[in-house]
Structure 1
Amino acid sequence: MRRFASLAGVLLLAAVFCSAATASPAPRPDDKSTVSALFLGDHGHHQPAARAQQIISALYTMGVDIFYTDEVEAVNLENLRQFDAVVFYANYMEMTDAQEQALLDYVAEGGGFVPLHSASGMFRNSEAYIALVGAAFDSHGIGVVRTERTDATHPAILGVPEFESWDETYIHKHHNPDRTVLEVRHEGDHTEPWTWVRTHGEGRVFYTAWGHDERTWSQPGFQQLVARGIKWAAGDWALDVVPRSMLYEYVDAVLPSLEYNSNPENERKLRPMQLPLDIETSMSRMVVPPGFEIELFAAEPDIVKPIYMAWDERGRLWIAETIDYPNQLHEEVGQGNDRITILEDTDGDGRADSFNVFAENLSIPTGFAFANGGVVVVQAPYTFFLKDTDGDDKADVQEVLFEGWGTFDTHAGPNNIRMGFDNWIWGVLGYSGFDGTVGGEAHRFPMGFFRFKPDGSKLEFVRMTNNNTWGFGFSEEGIPFASTANNNPSVYMPVPNRYYEAVRGWTPVRLGTIAEDRRVHPVTTRTRQGDFKGNYTAASGHALYTARDFPEEYWNRIAFVAGPTVRTLGRFAMESDGSDYKALNKWNMLASDDEWTIPILAEVGPDGALWMVDWYNYIPQHNLGPFREGWEHGQNNAYVTDLRDREHGRIYRIVHKDADPGESMDLSGASPQELVAALRHDNMFWRQTAQRLLVERGEQDVATDLYGLVRDTSMDGLGLNPGALHALWTLHGLGMLDGSHDEAFGVAAEALNHPSAAVRRAAAKVLPPTDASRNALMANNVLEDEDARVRLAALLALADAPPSDETGAAVFAMLTAPENAQDAWIPHAATAAGAKHARGFLRAANNADVLTGAVKEAVGHASFHRMSGILAGEITAMDMTGSTEEEAGVSRGGTRPDRDGVIMIASVGDEMAFDTRLIEATAGELVTIRFVNNATSPAMTHNVVILEHWEYINPVGLTALAAAEHDYIPPEHEEKILAFTPTAGPGEKVQVTFTMPPPGDYPFICTYGGHYVAMQGVLVSLDPEEEPEGDN
């Protein structure tokens, strides 16, 4: 690739690469009724994503579908060929030879190229690119821009109204004379070409200098100019694409405002309500990426209000249908109006034609999983086991496994349950929480991840999320993810609660979002969101694409998160970041402007397609959000309206056009050898199903075959060996990795050196908590594994193993490595392992010169754990950066009073979270808690309320909802409250001064607006006689 030598060189390239302006346009594709355009942006100061979102709705109505990306790697010929046109609006400075050639070939073949504004300054290392655009950016001033049309009849600009806007006054250089100028800008005696068109081979180029910021992008004239330019560039056929019809039928209905509005007088008003569309018309309003198609599988009247779906070992779709949702929950068993139905396509036409009701008289079943020849169903407050014993596909056994799921709010109960890799059933829970006894053990927990044994004999609260949670999914490595409602569409679960709880004085933090960009991307402005407007505020579902029928960039990477309130099914790319993950917003898998379309769940089916539940209801919200007065809430906390639909519901398949339909599978009668073979299937659904059936079969006669899978060291293109991974978990489920089967243990230990990191991670997790496992982990140097997720698993495995001084020293040594100390989660796992192997860990720490950051914090937790009675204390004061020797004693890691007795607490941005969950002070000490509210949203008003006992959290928190006139401090529970601050709005500071109570643990919460379910912490009152000397 050459850099600029002279203008003559540019003109020579123009002659080589550009055809005459009379080049024939690309022919109209046979099946095109809209124009697809790839929009390439970046993360620069022009904010391309925000600008694209400004026009996506307007262009949608004009028949142009925008597909945004910020990955410059998208400039490859195979990808570009999927689109009718490509829009550039970014500031990338260099392109590769391959990208240059791909763009030139794409346009030469007939593709449309639409560089906007800053695109004329992109890829400055490419002469060919500048020649293709038609000029290069040189400089600019600023001001209100007015242009003159030089060819108003040209089809690329015909009919577009003239406009003026504040913008940058671009000056260009390296002008290509082979172009047709449509607009110019005058400045004094200078006339600057502003908008032009040109051709290259069979393709067309449209450029305009308009478009610096939102002022221009909000102009209807600019939006029409871009749409017309895209259509012209795509070909004459695209100019004939008619705008999408907006001729919906409407009726007047009492509806909330579309706007986030605290004025009750503007709430309950007659507003236009769209009537439902027939299926074919509704499907025509849906947009999916090029290369994909939407197919209907089932709809009303055959099904109604599907809320969950899953497939059995025969590949049949089962759905839970509910018309009791949201406010008619029947807690008496057998009194509901809901059902679980089996759907089949018996004639092979792709549509369900058989609908068999498996179980009825249920009431709001929110999830189910196949186990032990039947289905386990969560229906708050119950967990049922339903089974057909006579082969008629009707449940004739119904058993309550356990109960305790909260019923306060039916969109905050247990949901999305499925069998996990560890042979337990996993799921997530909203803020209705759990309060019950399972297997003789009492449990009480709020929202988050949970798991339980399929027979209901044991339950574990795995980890707390930061708000209402209704989405869950596993990666192909068995890594759990979730989505939550309030501005947190993607959550990763790295370390379960039990590892924190095993360390005295240590508590886990709530899991926050891993999504760097939480914006939604609707194709319509008619959306009604309760809060966090413009962001995910009702996210549901989090299935990753775990088959191989979609393009490779989807494989084990793209998670599908529904945005019901904005009628989208979003895509997030799961990218590992050490032991952590980032969720990168990849815009939409599907979007619609049909105001009844409500995607609530998408899952990968046994056929490799993406199946989507469309709730199809004009009312998407359960709650309207804060400050929406004038609406009554029903018995299950949903706002009351007679407009909630109870007649519709649709299930679609999103398929890729190039997918091989393959042969259907049925594992219901499979032999053991066939089940083992299915552990290698390229669709995770069949692998997990085969694993479940082998474990439920309970026979160890397949052990040799499983050993063979584990010892297979091959890997696929993603670095995975699914057969080996599932074989390990199958051995675990068959009880062969309990330490009593030497050969099985040896095979798993060998797998610690498997080429696939996912297999190594699984091997660390399946090993039993024994001396032999600890020794195997140490002997294989797993703490030094190149993959941080494997190191994390190894540390957690060591935290379960019997204590060893050598292991403790090794854990301390690995934690001091920068790649571990600076990792998001390895310090947490190292703390758990360090506390378990505390003597060796602390001896190594005592010999260290300096302790800082995560290392210092881990040592503090481990030393307190040890001091509290697990081991004898022997750590001495050591030099810690920023501390004197007198301050270097043992600490639980909590926030302590400063020299003036002030404890600082703050909120975490617009999250429902305190920045610390643990504060400490000495009993009898006079302290001041000073709270700073760092939020910006008015919904995030907070306070700090310290309670006398843990059992008071729910009574105080619930009654505080109705205590606004008392500043959210319920008078009837004042005796349960130790101290409290006033409420603090965004940016405000408040404080309270009080005397520390007797030694013990005292919960603190926020009582504003129900925030207590997420905003909780512990005030530890230390015994002055037992507090370590020098404790800071």
Structure 2
Amino acid sequence: MKTLTQFLSISALAITSSLAQNRGKQHKSSDAPFLTPKEAVAKMSIPEGFDVSIYTSEPHIGEPIAFTFDAKGRVWVVENYNYVNRRSHKNEQLSRIQIFEDTDSDGVFDTKKLFHDKITFASGIAIGHGGVYLGAPPNLVFIPDANGDDVPDAEPEVLLDGWGMQDRHETLNSFIWGPDGWLYGCQGVFTHSLIGKPGAPKDDRLYLDAGIWRFHPETRDFEVFARGLSNPWGFDFNDLGHGFATCCVIPHLFHIVQGGIYHKQSRPNLNPYTYAPIQTIRDHTHLSAHGGARFYLADTFPSEHRDHLFMCNIHEHAVLTDYMEPNGSTYIGRHGSDFLPTNDLAWVGFSLEIGPDGGVYILDWHDTDICGNAINFPKSGRIYRIMPKNAKRIARPNIPSLTDLELCQLQNHPNDWFVRQARTELHHRTISGKLDRKAVHKALDEFFVSSKTSPKRLRALWAQHVTKRFSKNAEEKLIQLLSHSDQHVRAWAIQLLSEDKTPPSSIKSILQKLAQSDPSPTVRLYLAAAVPRLPLEYRFPILNALSQRSEDIDDPKLPRMIWFALEPLVTEHPEQALALAAQTKIPFLTESVARRMISGSPQSH
């Protein structure tokens, strides 16, 4: 017995030493033993007051690359059995989508069913608008299921093609519905895509080698929302609708603004005249790499966790949190906590979700090769749920069964999961012509007026937008919000008015006045972001006014965003650009205009 005890003690010490050595440095692989899901949970350093349950794991799932919740609170898992390594995959229909349901809300699935298994490689998923949006490079496809019976109505429809697969670790991923009704996603730097509708010529396609993209479910427009970064595999919006991406290799956290050009790993920015890409907002370092990003906007965890960004770190093998501190037009990302070290070198968490129960759900690819260069633990994978102990079990939700007005009422729910799901359903009913718009708009108008905080007002505003409260014959109500006392309402009114690139002529002078005198750096940031989407006659008046705001000289974003909007105009309108450069109070703009003028005629970028 003494010999056995000594052996176990020595073995435990060796494992602990190996873990500490690897966790404290960058590493691509390890010789960690395969732990069963129960053994893995037993090794986790679970924070006091919390439990971790095994929602699902092998043999029920394998190679899980993406997951999401549907409007009934069920988990849809994409299993990529085609993946071999970053440079190759099996060219057969091996991958699948399964649906898991936790009927009694105990954090462990009770039933499962197969939705689709005729897939050759997949990387991202979103549910909504009568079906499934699936990243299946080289395509973004839609699998219709209009009646919600969990049986595809037809073969997948290719919405966009041209997504690259040079690095199968960095293709389209991290799908999420934005507050504006667009589907957002990420792509990494070592994959080169030329994206467009099927059959579109090269000139009608958009090149992307790193950044954030978006697709509209009704108009089917596709846009590059922001360029740069490394291999972002996590994107979310806080409760003010500000986007944040998590990255690997380069600093891990970025505040994403429409039209922004960001620090980029290894490769030059597509536009050679960027000069000063936007940098990280983090003030601390973690080991690379990060995956997944969800703000905790529910009420099940203790209140100190609300507004914290939960993310996975595959090199530290832990769930971490950061919190955002306002800093001019942007934020500083402060370290929150090492929330849950897993103490398992084969734990590869790179995606997470907040559930209808307020739990944090974590996807674990589970392999000793954490950089995707090989599969050492084939057909493994887990989804865990982190939940406070003794949390009350919820009744299972069924968002599609609710009335229009009940969906409106959910915009005031303390768990943003319900807010987002209800907004997506309202949007779908609007597009489908099944919404009682008059009643819905009345309810949302009342909610907006009665709301006392920016997040609540914005919830009302976003729901108004997706239900077409501000359609062409009712734009005046949105224009009026440009003078609202809430800076975030003013900012979002700017974005929504410039959304389709044909703003009403009456806002030209209003936007110029906001650029001249609005006290909010957030409003000025949204103005700079909107400029490229506005008619030419709007642009210089706004840019000239923004360039006079000396208080923004040292802002981490505003001078750059003003430059990104101004740069395409410099060689086409040199006299106006030189006049701005001569009069601006922001030296970076003077320097950048001069550099751009010397560079000569525009290059194709």
TM-score, length of structure 1 as denominator length:
0.50
Shift of 1:390: 6.0
Q: Quick one: distance in 1 between partners of 2:30 and 2:400?
A: 51
Give the 3-state SS of the residue equivalent to 2:420 in structure 1.
helix
Shift of 1:367: 0.8
Shift of 1:752: 3.6
Q: Does structure 2 retain, via aligned residues, the 8 Å contact 1:565–1:621?
A: no
- Residue 463 (structure 2) aligns with: 730
Partner amino acid, structure 1, of 2:157: E
Query: Do structure 1's residue 826 and structure 2's residue 563 form an aligned pair?
Result: no
Q: Quick one: distance in 2 between partners of 1:546 and 1:685?
A: 8
Partner amino acid, structure 2, of 1:515: R
Q: Quick one: distance in 2 between partners of 1:360 and 1:877?
A: 58
Q: Quick one: distance in 2 between partners of 1:681 and 1:876?
A: 47
- Residue 246 (structure 1) aligns with: 12
Partner amino acid, structure 2, of 1:866: H
- Residue 313 (structure 2) aligns with: 563
- Residue 843 (structure 1) aligns with: none
- Residue 438 (structure 1) aligns with: 197
- Residue 504 (structure 2) aligns with: 770
Q: Quick one: distance in 2 between partners of 1:820 and 1:494?
A: 17
Partner amino acid, structure 1, of 2:35: L
Q: Which has the higher helix share?
A: 2
Higher Cα radius of gyration: 1
Query: Do structure 1's residue 684 and structure 2's residue 416 form an aligned pair?
Result: yes
Question: Match for 2:108 among 351, 357, 367?
Answer: 351
Question: Match for 2:35 among 277, 282, 286?
Answer: 277
- Residue 451 (structure 1) aligns with: 214
- Residue 99 (structure 1) aligns with: none
Q: Quick one: distance in 2 between partners of 1:800 and 1:384?
A: 27
Q: 5 Å matches for 1:118-197?
A: none
Shift of 1:829: 4.2
Q: Quick one: distance in 2 between partners of 1:433 and 1:346?
A: 42
Q: Quick one: distance in 2 between partners of 1:344 and 1:686?
A: 17
After superposition, the Cα gap between the structure-2 partners of 1:921 and 1:303, relative to the gap in structure 1 and judged at 3 Å, is: closer
- Residue 303 (structure 1) aligns with: 61
Output one character per residue of 1:643-697: Cα deviation in whole Å (capped at 9) or x when no partner.
5222321111111247554544221111110111112212222212111111111
Q: 5 Å matches for 1:975-990?
A: none
Query: Do structure 1's residue 376 and structure 2's residue 133 form an aligned pair?
Result: yes
Partner amino acid, structure 2, of 1:468: N
Query: Do structure 1's residue 648 and structure 2's residue 380 form an aligned pair?
Result: yes
Q: Does structure 2 retain, via aligned residues, the 8 Å contact 1:297–1:652?
A: yes
Q: Does structure 1 retain, via aligned residues, the 8 Å contact 2:107–2:385?
A: no
Q: Quick one: distance in 2 between partners of 1:585 and 1:401?
A: 39
- Residue 465 (structure 1) aligns with: 228
Output one character per residue of 1:504-549: Cα deviation in whole Å (capped at 9) or x when no partner.
9954854432222122xxxxxxxxxxxxxxx22x221122112222
Partner amino acid, structure 1, of 2:244: F
Question: Match for 1:866 among 570, 573, 577?
Answer: 573
Q: Does structure 1 retain, via aligned residues, the 8 Å contact 2:570–2:597?
A: no
Q: Does structure 1 retain, via aligned residues, the 8 Å contact 2:274–2:564?
A: no
Query: Do structure 1's residue 704 and structure 2's residue 447 form an aligned pair?
Result: no
Percent sequence identity over matched residues? 24
Shift of 1:802: 4.7
Q: Quick one: distance in 1 between partners of 2:10 and 2:52?
A: 18
Output one character per residue of 1:805-863: Cα deviation in whole Å (capped at 9) or x when no partner.
8x956754554333223212223444567x5xxxxxxxxxxxxxxxxxxxxxx8xx865
After superposition, the Cα gap between the structure-2 partners of 1:880 and 1:671, relative to the gap in structure 1 and judged at 3 Å, is: closer
Query: Do structure 1's residue 893 and structure 2's residue 593 form an aligned pair?
Result: yes
Give the 3-state SS of the residue equivalent to 1:513 in structure 2.
coil
Q: Does structure 1 retain, via aligned residues, the 8 Å contact 2:55–2:385?
A: yes
After superposition, the Cα gap between the structure-2 partners of 1:920 and 1:877, relative to the gap in structure 1 and judged at 3 Å, is: closer
Question: Match for 2:325 among 575, 581, 589?
Answer: 575
Structure 1: any 5+ residue segments left out of the alignment?
1-241, 251-255, 262-266, 520-534, 623-637, 836-857, 884-888, 896-917, 923-998, 1003-1017, 1019-1032
Q: Which has the higher contact order (CA 8 A, sep 6+)?
A: 2
Q: Quick one: distance in 2 between partners of 1:876 and 1:685?
A: 46
Query: Do structure 1's residue 516 and structure 2's residue 266 form an aligned pair?
Result: no
Q: Does structure 1 retain, via aligned residues, the 8 Å contact 2:53–2:384?
A: yes
Aligned residues: 567
Give the 3-state SS of the residue equivalent to 2:196 in structure 1.
strand
Give the 3-state SS of the residue equivalent to 2:51 in structure 1.
strand
Query: Do structure 1's residue 477 and structure 2's residue 240 form an aligned pair?
Result: yes
Shift of 1:790: 2.4
Q: Does structure 2 retain, via aligned residues, the 8 Å contact 1:330–1:336?
A: no
Shift of 1:746: 3.6
Give the 3-state SS of the residue equivalent to 2:352 in structure 1.
strand
- Residue 491 (structure 1) aligns with: 254
- Residue 292 (structure 2) aligns with: 541
Give the 3-state SS of the residue equivalent to 1:586 in structure 2.
strand
Output one character per residue of 1:919-947: Cα deviation in whole Å (capped at 9) or x when no partner.
9557xxxxxxxxxxxxxxxxxxxxxxxxx
Output one character per residue of 1:593-638: Cα deviation in whole Å (capped at 9) or x when no partner.
223222222221121111111222222122xxxxxxxxxxxxxxx3
Give the 3-state SS of the residue equivalent to 1:741 in structure 2.
helix
User: RMSD of aligned C-alpha atoms?
Assistant: 3.8
Give the 3-state SS of the residue equivalent to 1:569 in structure 2.
strand
After superposition, the Cα gap between the structure-2 partners of 1:371 and 1:920, relative to the gap in structure 1 and judged at 3 Å, is: farther
Shift of 1:348: 4.2
Partner amino acid, structure 1, of 2:507: S
Q: Quick one: distance in 2 between partners of 1:321 and 1:314?
A: 21
Shift of 1:495: 3.9
Q: Quick one: distance in 2 between partners of 1:881 and 1:315?
A: 52
Shift of 1:766: 1.6
TM-score, length of structure 2 as denominator length:
0.83
Q: Quick one: distance in 2 between partners of 1:827 and 1:307?
A: 38
Partner amino acid, structure 2, of 1:770: P
Shift of 1:590: 1.2
Partner amino acid, structure 1, of 2:368: Y
Query: Do structure 1's residue 792 and structure 2's residue 543 form an aligned pair?
Result: no
Q: Quick one: distance in 2 between partners of 1:795 and 1:882?
A: 14
Structure 2: any 5+ residue segments left out of the alignment?
1-7, 17-21, 263-270
Shift of 1:286: 0.6
Q: Does structure 2 retain, via aligned residues, the 8 Å contact 1:494–1:580?
A: no
Shift of 1:891: 7.6
Shift of 1:753: 4.6
Shift of 1:562: 1.4
Q: Does structure 2 retain, via aligned residues, the 8 Å contact 1:248–1:274?
A: no
Q: Does structure 1 retain, via aligned residues, the 8 Å contact 2:549–2:585?
A: no
